[in-house]
């Protein structure tokens, strides 16, 4: 594996765009300073986190949710007429994939998810269209990983722009500390894909968010490197526990606690 150079990687993140003019995810770059081996390891971890690394898990519709989640990153895709709280990422991924030379399956290019309910999704799970979609997703893990990394690259300037002025130095310092190890870089990349960057006013319960911005802001002071990755994992678990406590009772988010916390635990382990 190539030598990991956190200073160069962080510089690429900081110069990706200016804080006052963050790009949309439809225009983010696929370039990164990770080696191919590191990118491959990150893609495998994200796939394992989201669906146990199974091909069947590349097309999912979780119980209690109003939308399917597709690909190694479980990119959200809303059915027609539904406008949810969370950032819809599937259309952005398809645009990114096409710009980078991929040829998405025909069903993937539709404007809206073609299933109106989880029951309909489950009935069509083994149809030729969904099987073909999974085959295409399994063959494009690399471009999916590049998309997730690119989203992470775009997150820091957005977070600095959204954070209170008094918190910006802390956010940037903690980002730098966490990114100083391969497992910390994986944590930053995965968490943006997992729970967002924390800048959307819609992604809050009781006025409190749970994205990367809130996790970095909630970290205790620790040295850079593996210690920062471990503290990032702990801060992420605190943020997600707060989300569960604040969530509407009807959503019953407590059922996700163990899985969410187990995922955060992977951030403290060697890549």
Using one digit for the tens of pLDDT, what is the confidence trace for 143-197? 999 999 888 888 899 999 999 999 999 999 999 999 888 899 899 999 998 999 9
Model confidence at 64, pLDDT cuts 50, 70, 90, reads confident
Q: What is the C-alpha to C-alpha distance for residues 169 and 18, in angstroms, rounded to an integer?
A: 16
Using one digit for the tens of pLDDT, what is the confidence trace for 123-143? 999 999 999 999 999 999 999
| Tokens 């962080």 belong to residue | 10
Q: Is the pLDDT of residue 13 over 70?
A: no
Model confidence at 2, pLDDT cuts 50, 70, 90, reads very low
Q: Is the pLDDT of residue 7 over 70?
A: no
Q: Of residues 226 and 6, which shows the higher confidence score?
A: 226
Q: Is the pLDDT of residue 1 over 50?
A: no
Q: Is the pLDDT of residue 26 over 50?
A: no
pLDDT of residue 216: 97
pLDDT of residue 22: 32
Model confidence at 11, pLDDT cuts 50, 70, 90, reads very low
Q: What is the C-alpha to C-alpha distance for residues 74 and 189, in angstroms, rounded to an integer?
A: 14
Using one digit for the tens of pLDDT, what is the confidence trace for 193-240? 899 999 999 899 999 999 999 999 999 999 999 999 999 999 999 999
Q: Of residues 88 and 15, which shows the higher confidence score?
A: 88
């Amino acid at each position: 594996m190539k030598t990991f150079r956190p200073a160069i990687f962080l510089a690429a993140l900081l110069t990706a765009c200016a804080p006052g003019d963050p790009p949309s995810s439809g225009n983010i770059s696929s370039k990164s300073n990770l080696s191919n081996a590191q990118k491959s390891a990150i893609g495998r971890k994200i796939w394992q986190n989201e669906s146990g690394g199974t091909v069947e898990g590349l097309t999912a519709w979780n119980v209690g949710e109003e939308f399917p989640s597709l690909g190694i990153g479980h990119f959200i895709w809303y059915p027609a007429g539904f406008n949810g709280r969370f950032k819809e990422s599937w259309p952005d991924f398809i645009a990114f994939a096409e710009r980078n030379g991929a040829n998405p399956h025909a069903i993937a290019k539709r404007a809206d998810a073609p299933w109106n309910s989880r029951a309909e999704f489950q009935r069509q799970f083994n149809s030729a269209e969904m099987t073909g979609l999974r085959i295409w997703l399994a063959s494009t893990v690399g471009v999916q990983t590049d998309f997730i990394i690119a989203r992470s690259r775009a997150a820091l300037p957005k977070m600095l722009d959204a954070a209170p002025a008094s918190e910006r130095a802390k956010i940037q310092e903690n980002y730098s500390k966490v990114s100083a190890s391969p497992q910390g870089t994986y944590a930053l990349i995965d968490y943006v894909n997992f729970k967002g960057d924390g800048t959307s006013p819609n992604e809050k319960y009781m006025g409190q968010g749970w994205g990367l911005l809130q996790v970095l802001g909630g970290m205790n002071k620790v040295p850079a490197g593996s210690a920062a990755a471990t503290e990032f994992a702990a801060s992420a678990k605190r943020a997600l526990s707060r989300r569960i406590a604040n969530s509407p009772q009807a959503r019953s988010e407590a059922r996700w606690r163990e899985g969410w916390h187990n995922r955060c635990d992977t951030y403290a382990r060697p890549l």
